[in-house]
Amino acid sequence: MNYYIIIIILILSIFIYYLFFLENYLFIKSSFLSQNDFYLLKSYLKNIHTFEENDEKKYHLLDIKKHKNIYDIIYQHPFLKKYIQKHFQKKLNYPSKPIEYRIYKNSSQSMGWHQDIQYLNHPYLECIFILDNSSSCNFYYIKNRTKHSYLQKENDFILLKPRDLIHNIDPIKNNSKEILKCIIDL
């Protein structure tokens, strides 16, 4: 009997933590790049033909030396540099982990509700840059104890903190979705 009480207390403690102690940091910038920069970036990515692959996606880790032009478009972006300086009092530098170019395949399963895993030992932001979402899959998230929905669009730039925002993404049922996933070291 005491075992069940301990489990109930543990579950309630986790629930209270998620409701009241998460920051739920999320920033979405629509039309992040100018049209010229956006098409330039996509033209650079068209030259990538080698991918690793798993059940849900194809991906390519972009080496900073070979793809410096792609890194520059993102990490030298004036708005992003100002935003990071203003909100985090940090200078925007090139990341400690490579940018990942992902192409998601048709899938009958969503990612499920989750928080991004923190895989580095220092603070950072997860960045998702939407290159194409012809699948029209939605991004759902819980903020201030309310469920929200957002249709990710081409040229959206999304920032969130690992181990913080609880979110879910629809499965890709038609067409595909292309993103760049990267980090901003804080």
Instruction: Provide the pLDDT for residue 175.
Output: 83
Q: What is the number of alpha carbons within 13 Å of residue 66 lying toward its C-beta? A: 9
Domains of the chain and any CATH numbers = 23-185 (2.60.120.620)
Instruction: Provide the pLDDT for residue 23.
Output: 62
Other CB atoms within 10 Å distance of the CB of residue 141:
20
Tell me the sheet residues that pair with 158.
Answer: 28, 128
Closest CA to 163 of 120, 116, 128: 116
Q: What is the pLDDT of residues 39-55, one digit of tens each?
A: 999 999 999 999 999 88
Q: Which residue has the higher pLDDT, 20 or 41?
A: 41
In this predicted structure, the answer to whether residue 1 has a pLDDT above a threshold of 70 is no
Instruction: Provide the pLDDT for residue 112.
Output: 82
In this predicted structure, the answer to whether residue 19 has a pLDDT above a threshold of 60 is no
Instruction: Provide the pLDDT for residue 172.
Output: 85
Instruction: Provide the pLDDT for residue 10.
Output: 65
What is the distance, to the nearest Å, from the Cα of residue 63 to the centroid of all Cα atoms in its chain? 19
CA distance 130 to 179: 5
Helices (H), the chain: 2-20, 35-45, 68-75, 78-88
CA distance 162 to 152: 19
Percent of the chain whose pLDDT exceeds 90:
63
What is the distance, to the nearest Å, from the Cα of residue 80 to the centroid of all Cα atoms in its chain? 15
Q: What is the pLDDT of residues 90-139, one digit of tens each?
A: 999 999 999 999 998 877 566 788 889 999 999 999 999 999 988 878 89
Q: What is the pLDDT of residues 162-175, one digit of tens each?
A: 989 889 988 888 88
Q: Which residue has the higher pLDDT, 164 or 17?
A: 164
CA distance 31 to 154: 8
Instruction: Tell me the residue ranges of DSSP E strands in 134-176.
Output: 138-143, 146-151, 157-160, 166-169
